[in-house]
Amino acid sequence: MEQSFNNGVLSSVKKLTKKSPPDVVLYVDRLDSQTCDLNDLPILKTVTNSLGPSIWRNTIVTLTHAACDPPDGTNGTPLSYEMLVAQRSHLMHQSISHAVGPGLMNPISLVENQKNGRGEKILPNGQIWRPQLLLLCYSMKILSEAGSIFKSDRKLLDFRARSPPLPYMLSSMLQARPHPKMDDVDSDIDLDELSETDEEQEDEYDGLPPFKPLKKAQIGKLTREQKHAYFEEYDYRVKLLQKKQWREELRRMREIKKDSIDLSDVDAGDDDGAAPVAVPLPDMALPPSFDGDSPAYRYRFLEPGSRFLARPVLDSHGWDHDCGYDGVNLEHALAVNNRFPVSYTVQITKDKKDFNFSLDSSISAKHGKDTSSMVGLDIHSMGKQIAYTVRGETKIKKFRRNKAGGGVFLTFLGENVVPGLKIEDRVTLGKRYVLVGSGGAVGSGKETAYGANIEVQRRESDYPIGEVESTLGVSMVKWRGDWTLGINGLAQFSIGHNSKVGVRAGINNKLSGQISVKTSSSENLALALAAVVPAVISVYKKLWPGADETYSIY
């Protein structure tokens, strides 16, 4: 009977609170109700189920009859007034926690309507309860309004945070992407950029006298001058052998293009033979290390008979003698109808906190001799969201040493759709210099980011056998009315026979940048002492943190 009556009363209260939510709710109970168990728990659960758990966020527990005499304790002596209030408050908090859930501590106010001998309504401890109760009500109202404002500001900030990172998308779009090529027909090297003398030059390697490589023990017996002469001769012969293999590849490529060999017949003839034999793939390029024992053998794997390739993902910033596996990389290349080359790469990385998945897929088609088009789909993790990018671009060779192209991009990131447009141009200046330029824009809503990149590359004289010696690039980005100009450079060179140095530097118009120097050597292990310098500086700043601030101009 009482339960049905309580439900009816709470139902009418719920209708009123929906129309006009209360600012403060007072839950009234008696201070002198001596209950050591949770007798009030059923009524508290009824209130919670009817009005919702949120009703307790603005509730003040009010204990009446605060001038009652404290009961006797376990030792037979009366409890102090402070102990009585503490026990009753703890019991109320415990009951509310069982009904609503942990984590909620409602304020408690004491009330006594009887007047003392002077006609004042005060508590036995001498405090006036009315101002305290009013102060709690005002505080509850102010905190409620502040919480609502904070929630609205947080929603606004979350909305701004969900806006797509346009500068990052712009830099990713401006990166040059190679078009998939047909095996045995297309080459990554532009044959038109190479002079005829590079192909028709007679091989000097066959005319050299016999050369027998020495063992490590035999090299150790040589003098310093003999070692220098031996390594110079060895490097010279290696370069000549690479040139010979490169010229043979060029001749084969030109013959295929000249004679227009039907690749379908060639593939059919290969299928009639024996199954392909698995061979070891080239060693993975490891980061520079001061360790003379290269751990490349840890990452060796066989090339499968099919075109499906699986290999580990190596962490370039790992420690020496560490496994360094971060994930798995899957690659596959095929030709659709022997005319449209397709390639896709899937990379999966996983650690204790994050799981990242990325997909890069492309299909290309040639339109005549000098035009190529490509369409692709990319899927990448961008923060806690997944970005889907559909792209298409076309490259045209206008002149012998000039390539131009353009493309469109469309990225879907959550609720945002980011379109983009780019153009690029590549000019070969002589045999050793290449000028590359690109520009574009991406937009989302009312925001648009513009950018351009210009880069000059200097190759080795033996390119493509050699590598790019140095690059100098300039990048410009405009976003939200702010211009950012950056200059970066890269230089790679060898010191002696077994040492290499790579220097990379960059700076922007806000005078912030970085310089990194990477050195690898298998003999001069004293170079490892350079790593001690920043460690000593860091320890010095930890021990004497104010030493460098004493003379600071700031």
Q: What is the DSSP string of 399-464?
A: ETTEEEEEEEEEEEETTEEEEEEEEEEEEEETTTEEEEEEEEEEEETTEEEEEEEEEEEEE-TTTT
Higher-pLDDT residue of 297 and 376 is: 376
- How many domains does the chain contain in total? 3
Nearest to 64 by CA among 126, 140, 121: 121
CA gap 471, 456 in Å, rounded: 6
Determine, yes or no, domain membership for 280.
no
145 and 190 in a single domain? The answer is no
123 and 189 in a single domain? The answer is no
Residue span of the structural domain in which 354 resides? 319-536
The token pair at 366 is 């040639």
Residue-wise pLDDT tens digits, 85-96: 888 888 888 888
7 and 57 in a single domain? The answer is yes
Mean pLDDT on 129-140:
88
343 and 464 in a single domain? The answer is yes
Determine, yes or no, domain membership for 298.
no
CA gap 549, 263 in Å, rounded: 71
Higher-pLDDT residue of 473 and 544 is: 473
Which residue carries 């001998």 as its tokens?
117
Task: Give the pLDDT band of residue 550 (cuts 50, 70, 90).
Answer: very low
Q: Considering the chain, what is the average pLDDT of its residues?
A: 78
Higher-pLDDT residue of 3 and 305 is: 3
Q: Which helix (H) or strand (E) holds 92?
A: helix 81-100
The yes-or-no verdict on residue 267 having pLDDT over 80 is no
Q: How much is the pLDDT for 268?
A: 43
185 and 139 in a single domain? The answer is no
Residue-wise pLDDT tens digits, 150-184: 765 555 555 444 678 899 899 989 988 888 887 65
Least confident interval from 111-125, 254-268, 340-354, 503-517: 254-268
Higher-pLDDT residue of 289 and 456 is: 456
Mean pLDDT on 52-65:
87
The yes-or-no verdict on residue 265 having pLDDT over 70 is no
244 and 392 in a single domain? The answer is no
Mean pLDDT on 237-262:
71
Mean pLDDT on 228-254:
78
Q: How much is the pLDDT for 418?
A: 93
350 and 450 in a single domain? The answer is yes
Q: How much is the pLDDT for 324?
A: 62
Mean pLDDT on 63-71:
84
Determine, yes or no, domain membership for 307.
no
Return the CATH number at 522. 2.40.160
Kindly provide the b/e burial profile for residues 274-295, where b requires at least 16 CB atoms within 10 angstroms of the residue's own CB.
eeeeeeeeeeeebeebbeeeee
Return the CATH number at 95. 3.40.50.300
43 and 96 in a single domain? The answer is yes
Determine, yes or no, domain membership for 173.
no
